[in-house]
């Protein structure tokens, strides 16, 4: 099985550790990843800001069509690929691209989906001796429907002290350019999310989307809350031999 990694533009540019962890994790599970260098961005930021870019959809389809599967360490980007790509292509009256986009979207998996649905494992042999709370990001839950897959994976991590995040079904207030266009509402939502995170006493806030973590982590850093944010892949990549 030839499996490609779509790192997402955010991880590529700002959070390479989440990408490296995804590679290390899947290596350990015997599923090497390829990283086609022609990839850039899924186009979600553009689409959600009102700029439909069929060119970015075409790029994604061209780059990933040859693979058997694509792994994305982001529920939001995987969601955009599955729910927006065909729509963006159709808005540009490109039915051929829409059809191809639908086919590639079908073999595009968010990380926890790939581990559980394709590799059939919910125990990846990870070791992470820290107090962790998990934020189920909105797009991973509501647009993609990952359900409890990430939590099943986390529960099987050795030595982890996993605590439930109160009000975890509520949006953190990121929302892409929403956080810039409506900074005051976004900050009000963030304040409540940070309060919940701090209440858990966790050292680490974990999620499957670096974008939401960039927002929550940016707020936690600003108030020097002393809570680290880690991508799900980073926690799952950690082992007793090579702890994070």
Partner 1 sequence: MSNGNGDLIWTDDPPFAQNAKRAVDDSQLRHNVRKATATIRERRAGLVAETPDWQALRASGAAIKDDVLHHLDGYLEQFERNATARGAHVHWARDADEATQTVTRLVQATGRNEVIKVKSMATQEIGLVKALEDAGITAHETDLAELIIQLSHDRPSHIVVPALHRNRAEIRQIFRDHMPDAPTELSDDPNALAEAARLHLRRLFLKTRVAVSGANFAIAETGGLLVAESEGNGRMCLTLPDTLISVVGIEKLIPRFGDLEVFLQLLPRSSTGERMNPYNSVWTGVTQNDGPQNVHIVLLDNGRTKALADDTGRQALRCIRCAACLNVCPVYERTGGHAYGATYPGPIGAIVTPLMAGVEHAPELPFASSLCGACYEVCPVKIDIPTVLVKLRADAVKAQRHKAQDATFAAAAQAMSGRRRWTAALKLVPLMRFIRHGAPPPLSGWTRTRDLPDPPKQSFRDWWSNGR
- Closest approach, Cβ 158 to partner 1, in A, equals 26
**CA 86 – CA 229 distance, rounded (Å):** 33
- Residue 35, CA distances (Å) to 2, 17, 18, 146, 200 in order: 11, 15, 14, 24, 37
**CA 91 – CA 172 distance, rounded (Å):** 30
Q: Which of residues 112-151 bind partner 1 (CB under 8 A)?
A: 138-139, 142-143
Rule CB under 8 A: choose which of 1, 30, 38, 93 binds partner 1: 38
Choice between 91 and 159, CB closer to partner 1 = 91
- Closest approach, Cβ 218 to partner 1, in A, equals 3
- Closest approach, Cβ 156 to partner 1, in A, equals 27
| Residue 180 lies near partner 1 (rule: CB under 8 A) | yes
- Which residues lie below 8 Å from residue 210, measured CB to CB, with a gap of 6+? 8, 10, 11, 14, 15, 18, 73, 74, 231
| Residue 19 lies near partner 1 (rule: CB under 8 A) | yes
Q: What is the CA radius of gyration of the chain?
A: 17
In 32-84, alpha helices (H): 44-48, 54-64, 75-83
Look at residue 130 and give its three-state secondary structure: coil
| Residue 203 lies near partner 1 (rule: CB under 8 A) | no
| Residue 237 lies near partner 1 (rule: CB under 8 A) | no
Contact (Cβ atoms closer than 8 angstroms) between residue 99 and residue 58: no
**CA 174 – CA 118 distance, rounded (Å):** 30
Tell me the β-bridge partners of 195: none
| Residue 41 lies near partner 1 (rule: CB under 8 A) | yes
- Closest approach, Cβ 77 to partner 1, in A, equals 13
| Residue 64 lies near partner 1 (rule: CB under 8 A) | no
Count of residues of this chain found to bind partner 1 when the rule CB under 8 A is applied: 66
Rule CB under 8 A: choose which of 219, 231, 232, 237 binds partner 1: 219
| Residue 7 lies near partner 1 (rule: CB under 8 A) | yes
The span of 94-102, 123-131, 174-182, 199-207 binding partner 1 (CB under 8 A) equals 174-182
**CA 126 – CA 81 distance, rounded (Å):** 29
Question: Rule CB under 8 A: which residues touch partner 1?
Answer: 7, 9, 11-17, 19-20, 23, 35, 37-38, 40-41, 43, 45-53, 55-56, 59, 83-84, 87, 91, 138-139, 142-143, 169-171, 173-190, 214-215, 217-219, 221-222
């Amino acid at each position: 099985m030839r499996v490609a990694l779509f790192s997402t533009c955010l991880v590529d540019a700002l959070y390479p550790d989440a990408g490296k962890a995804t590679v290390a994790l899947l290596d350990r599970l015997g599923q090497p990843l390829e990283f086609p260098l022609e990839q850039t961005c899924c186009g979600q930021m553009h689409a959600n800001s009102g700029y439909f870019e069929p060119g970015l959809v075409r790029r994604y389809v061209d780059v990933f069509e040859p693979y058997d599967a694509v792994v994305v360490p982001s529920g939001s980007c995987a969601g955009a690929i599955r729910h927006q790509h065909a729509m963006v292509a159709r808005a540009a009256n490109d039915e051929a691209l829409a059809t191809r986009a639908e086919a590639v979207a079908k073999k595009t998996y968010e990380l926890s989906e790939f581990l559980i649905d394709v590799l059939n494992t919910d125990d990846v042999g990870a070791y992470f001796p820290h107090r962790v709370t998990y934020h189920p990001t909105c797009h991973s839950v509501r647009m993609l429907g990952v359900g409890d897959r990430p939590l099943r994976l986390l529960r099987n991590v050795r030595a982890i002290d996993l605590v439930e995040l109160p009000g975890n079904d509520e949006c953190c207030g990121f929302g892409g350019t929403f956080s810039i266009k409506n900074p005051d509402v976004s900050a009000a939502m963030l304040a409540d999310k940070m309060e919940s995170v701090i209440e858990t006493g966790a050292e680490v806030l974990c999620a499957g989307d670096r974008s939401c973590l960039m927002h929550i982590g940016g707020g936690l850093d600003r108030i020097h809350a002393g809570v680290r944010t880690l991508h799900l892949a980073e926690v799952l990549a950690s082992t007793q031999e090579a702890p994070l």
